[in-house]
Structure 1
Amino acid sequence: MPRTALSLSGPAPLPAGRAALAAGFAAIRDEHELTTEFPPAVLDEVRTAIRGLRLPELDRTDLPLVTLDPPGSQDLDQAMAIERRSDGGYRVWYAIADVAAFVRPGGELDREARRRVLTCYLPDVRVPLHPAELSEGAASLLPGQDRPAVLWCVDVDERGVPVASDVKRALVRSRAQLDYPTMELALAEGRGPEVIGLLREVGGLLEARQTARGGMILNVPTQQVSPSPDGWRLEYAVERSIERWNAQISLLIGAAAAEIMLRGGTGIVRTLPEPSPVTIRRLRKAAKGLGVAWPDRRSYQRLVSSLTPDDPHQAALLWESMALMRGAGYTPFDGACPAKPKHSALGIEYAHATAPLRRLVDRFTSECCLAIVAGDEVPDWVREALPELPGHMERGERLSRTVDRACVDLAESVLLADRIGEDFTGVVLDLNDRIDWDQNGKPDAGTVMLRDPAVIARLDGHDLPQGAEVRVRLTKVDVTERKVYFDWIDAE
């Protein structure tokens, strides 16, 4: 999910730094065999599919659908329309790009998509799941274009509780391509399209429902390499409010999809087990050490959802809270439903369904739901793929995380290459005491989040005061290895 900057890294890199970043990003792609090019057989199959496309019989081009994405996006998976119901609730229309309309099961494009798994986003280029002719063209829900879609209709009551859902294939046409910063400004100024005002209402209700049912909102600041007029910036980022509301609509559809598949006995859900008692005890210990109040009767979900990254002690506890997300996976089923299908961080059963242009599993989710709602058998090609999808998705997500980390490490090293010997201010996030302790029984390393530039650094050999503000000194930079080295000044 796109994010908004908390703080900037300072001066953009010099021309030599820009060249080093460009070369480094290219090297990362080479290391992980990422390419924007597709085999000729895949491109031929895409063009044949586009020429032979059969449009859905159901015409819903009357719906006032709009897309809402980062500026400049062309791979538009979703378009929405929201309307009030006479009983005080809302009706959400959600059109999802019908990728399956273009993909021949077992064909060249299908095999290539299973190899790529996800669209991989690097700071300088996007490595797509599908060729641009499809993902940014014939399948993308671009404004003013008739497109085949998987069209969801979900009703929620005045409290944000889903009361009905339906899904069909339909022909749709987006009316406008909206972006986050423009709509955020429009809301702040009391203007903008009605659908964005309704998104704020419904998204807010759904977000409140998430915490009320035992879900949590983990607002951890992340590092982000972003283009600037003079080169690149490394910044901390959190989700905008409008992005969170939009994500809630996607979660609403994902929950409806999971409910349909579980009812029908065939599909694949995204699962996360409840954290272990050991993890909760560790989190309570960290909260006590950081001075963050945690009443005995308050759930970990409510505590974490209340934390803000603006406070250094709470930022450190947010960092520790990421342990609650360990164990997330994909659970396929066909015949017997899984015993524990819930996603504990969301507090519901949930499935990935809304981003088929950029994520492999979503195409299969749609096909399961369409068949079950229509009273048809789930296609054999979908059932045969279900057992293999968890492996594909885990491989793709692992690669994506690795590439993201490599790009940030590269940016850190390039941006700091000429600042060896300088001192910086940071906040101690954790003590890494899950792994190694020195011979005196103290943690042998820690992690510090620098305020400026946006660097998260490892410090070795110190008993660091978690949550405290410290001064550190940059001692070494290795651009080739994408590593930076700091020392804690107070330890001298």
Structure 2
Amino acid sequence: MPQRRSHVAPSAAQSELATALAALRTEIGAPAEFSPEALAEAASVSAPVPDLDLRHIAFATLDPAGSMDLDQAFQIERSGSGYTVRYAIADVPSFVTAGGALDEAARGRGETLYAADGTIPLHPPVLSEDRASLLPDQDRPALVWTFALDATGTVTDTRLERALIRSRAKLDYITAQADLDAGRDTPAALLPEVGRLRLAQEAQRGGASLNLPDDEVVRKDDGTYAIERRTPLPIEDWNAQLSLMTGMAAAQLMLQAKVGILRTMPQPDDAAFDTFRRQTEALGVPWTAGRYGDYLRGLDRDDQRTLPILEAASALFRGAGYVAFDGQVPAETTQAAIAAPYAHATAPLRRLVDRWSLAISLAVSRGEEIPAWVHESMEQVPDLMHAAAQRSSTLNSRTLDLVEAAVLAPHVGETFPAVVIRRNGERGTVQITEPPVTASMALPNSAAAGATIQVVLNSVDVAKGQAAFAVV
């Protein structure tokens, strides 16, 4: 189970924090309310009923507890020595008409933003959390991927169809993991087997992932804000492998048609690898041979040196972006961390680009012409997604700064143990365990990455999201 420790800001800082969070929306240029035209279209639009009826398939969704914008539903069964995996994706292309008010609103947003004081959705909630969401016990149109896997988890056949489905269960990560650990019956019973096989496939391809612990800002039932640190559950990694498998299949269809939008990331260059090697040597856990993904997977998560190593490795995961192509395959098609061509195609309720990926994939799989609106608009999508990603990144980092400052407010003058996780010249970043905050500060020459030091909190400004620490 994930380690969860919650640190709540005191009541004296909560009012100031609420004001700062509201101002943050203006600061990042967060979209305002949906236009009346977009709301009316979302409430009235109807998706055609698919000819294929798969409501007899026992699909289930798996998401964080409380989620209502359910993009994916899965079903896994044994097939000989292998498996059949069905992965249903909300059929957003059937609900959103190109050039309509909904389309215009979604292009202006790019992706759903999860702010501490409320979600800023890509589509109106009547669509994203109701009519198009794969909620349990509701008939829904979906784009269903069917994968045949052999005993090693290798995909031997792929099919994509538009179908009517009916999810039977709404699972959440924590409860589903507990059911698996206890051996209880669950729709996710085969997910560990398939997930581990797909993780092994990723390792063979040379893929890598960081899996850093998350510092999450949560809003309590009483309206107060807190920071919780959690380690991702195994079931989250297994579930992610279904999405990755689907994104790779979508990418192959796009490359086959020479039309699409890929999610790419360059392979780190020799200089980046050399820097990372020196950092691991300085931390006493040298990466001497083999692929960096294998090295990261083998790290001891209980070793205090692992966090600064993972932070150092983050430099190897830079440069991700989108590339659109129409008629000619781009020179670079690989997402280096996945070690394969890849496309975002599994979260159309929450991410704009997925609608294009799904429309292209369905047309190619059917042997049909790709819709004209795709050709006309796809060159714009990378820029729209880049702008949305920048807005989301700023929102997340500034929100964490604000809540950290509020949590720290009553502790001015106190001393904390901290681990140096990154150093850059005379300054660096340290990780304080309790409460779980990171801080940038001047460091003495003796404070190398991985070292444990004592820091004192000198001052806090909740409105600016600033906390000033110094080494004792």
Residues 36-64 of structure 1, C-alpha deviation per residue, up to 9 Å, x if partnerless? 621101111222313xx321111111111
Measured against aligned partners, the alpha-carbon deviations of 1:199-251 in whole angstroms (never above 9, x if no partner) come to: 11101110121112100121222321123466332133332111111111111
SS of 1:417 mapped into structure 2: helix
Question: 2:2, 2:435 → 1: CA distance?
Answer: 12
CA distance in structure 2 between the aligned counterparts of 1:139 and 1:308, rounded to whole angstroms: 42
Q: Which residue of 1 aligns with 2:417?
A: 425
Residue 294 of structure 1 aligns to a residue whose secondary structure is coil
Q: Name the structure 1 match of 2:262.
A: 269
CA drift of 1:168 comes to 1.2
Of residues 428, 431, 450, the one that matches 1:449 is 431
Alpha-carbon distance between aligned partners in 2 of 1:340 and 1:39, rounded to the nearest angstrom = 39
User: Of the candidates 347, 353, 359, which is equivalent to residue 355 of structure 1?
Assistant: 347
Tell me which residue corresponds to 1:475: 458
Q: Distance in 2 between matches of 1:411 and 1:185?
A: 30
Query: Is this contact kept in 2: 1:154–1:164, CA < 8 A?
Result: yes
Task: Find the aligned partners of 1:408 and 1:333 in 2 and give their Cα distance.
Answer: 37
| Contact residue 261 and residue 343 of structure 2 kept, 8 A | yes
Corresponding residue SS for 2:369 = coil
Match of 2:232 in 1: 239
Deviation per residue, 1:8-47 (Å, 9 max, x gap):
254x222233323322221111222325621101111222
SS at match of 2:236: helix
Quote the residue 1:209 is aligned against.
Answer: 201
Report the 3-state secondary structure (helix = DSSP H, G, I; strand = E; otherwise coil) of the residue aligned with 1:283. helix
CA distance in 1, matches of 2:76, 2:191: 7
Q: Are 2:376 and 1:384 equivalent residues in the alignment?
A: yes
Q: Distance in 2 between matches of 1:309 and 1:323?
A: 19
SS of 1:158's partner is coil
Structure 2 distance, partners of 1:82, 1:22, is 44
CA-CA distance at 1:331 after TM superposition: 1.3
How far 1:124 sits from its partner (Å)? 2.7
Q: Which runs of 5+ in 1 are unaligned?
A: 433-442
Question: Which stretch of the first structure deviates more once superposed, 210-219 or 316-325?
Answer: 210-219
The residue number in structure 1 matching 2:137 is 144
Q: Distance in 2 between matches of 1:137 and 1:222?
A: 29
Distance 1:335 1:353 in 2: 20
- The answer on whether the counterparts of 1:80 and 1:93 sit within 8 Å (CA) in structure 2 is yes
- Alpha-carbon separation, structure 1, partners of 2:30 and 2:238: 32
SS class of match (1:177):
strand
Alignment match, 1:329: 321
Question: TM-score under structure 2 normalisation?
Answer: 0.97
Note the 1:174-189 alignment, pairs <5 A.
174-189=167-182
Aligned counterpart, 2:10: 14
Which residue of structure 2 aligns with residue 435 of structure 1? none
How big is the shift at 1:461? 5.0
CA distance in 2, matches of 1:63, 1:481: 52
Counterpart CA distance in 2 for 1:5 and 1:417 is 27
Q: What residue number does 1:487 align with? A: 470
CA pair 62-304 structure 1, distance change in 2 beyond 3 A: same
- The answer to whether 1:72 aligns with 2:102 is no
Whether the 8 Å CA contact 1:81–1:92 is kept in 2: the answer is yes
Aligned amino acid, residue 471 of structure 1: Q
Instruction: Describe the SS at the equivalent of 1:262.
Output: helix
Change (3 A) 1:313 1:347: same
The answer to whether the Cα contact below 8 Å between 1:5 and 1:235 also exists between their aligned partners in 2 is no
Confirm or deny: 8 A CA contact 2:420 2:429 kept in the other structure.
yes
- Sort the Cα spacing of 1:9 and 1:69 in 2 relative to 1 into closer, same or farther, 3 A: closer
Q: Report whether the alignment pairs 1:38 with 2:34.
A: yes
Q: Which residue of structure 2 aligns with residue 436 of structure 1?
A: none
Contact persistence 1:7–1:454 (CA under 8 A): no
Aligned counterparts of 2:5 and 2:460: Cα–Cα separation in 1: 20
Q: TM-score, normalised by structure 1?
A: 0.93
SS in 1 for 2:410: coil
Which has the larger displacement, 354-363 or 175-184? 175-184
Please give the alpha-carbon distance, in whole angstroms, between the structure 1 residues aligned to 2:14 and 2:158.
Answer: 50
Distance 1:24 1:109 in 2: 30
Give the match's secondary structure for 1:197.
Answer: coil
Q: In structure 2, the residue corresponding to 1:141 is in which secondary structure?
A: coil
Alignment of 1:229-378 (within 5 A): 231-295=224-288, 297-378=289-370
Find the partner of 2:444 among 462, 474, 491.
462
1:60 pairs, out of 54, 62, 68, with: 54
SS at match of 1:312: coil
CA deviation digits over 1:401-446, x for unaligned, max 9? 10000110001111111211100111101112xxxxxxxxxx2101
The reply on whether 1:90 has 2:83 as its aligned counterpart is: yes
Q: Which residue of 2 aligns with 1:438?
A: none
Q: Which amino acid aligns with 1:375?
A: G
State the identity as a percent: 41
After TM superposition, the runs of 4+ consecutive aligned structure 1 residues lying more than 6 A away are none
What residue number does 1:123 align with? 116
**In the TM superposition, what whole-angstrom CA distance separates every residue of 1:44-96 from its partner, at most 9, and x where no partner exists?**
1222313xx3211111111110111111111110111111112x111111110
Which residue of the partner structure matches residue 437 of structure 1?
none
2:245 is paired with a residue whose SS is helix
2:401 pairs with 1:409: yes
Per-residue displacement from partner, 1:468-489 (whole Å, max 9, x unpaired)?
A: 1111000111112111110011
CA distance in 1, matches of 2:93, 2:125: 16
Q: Give the 3 Å change call, closer, same or farther, for CA 9–80 of structure 1 in structure 2.
A: closer
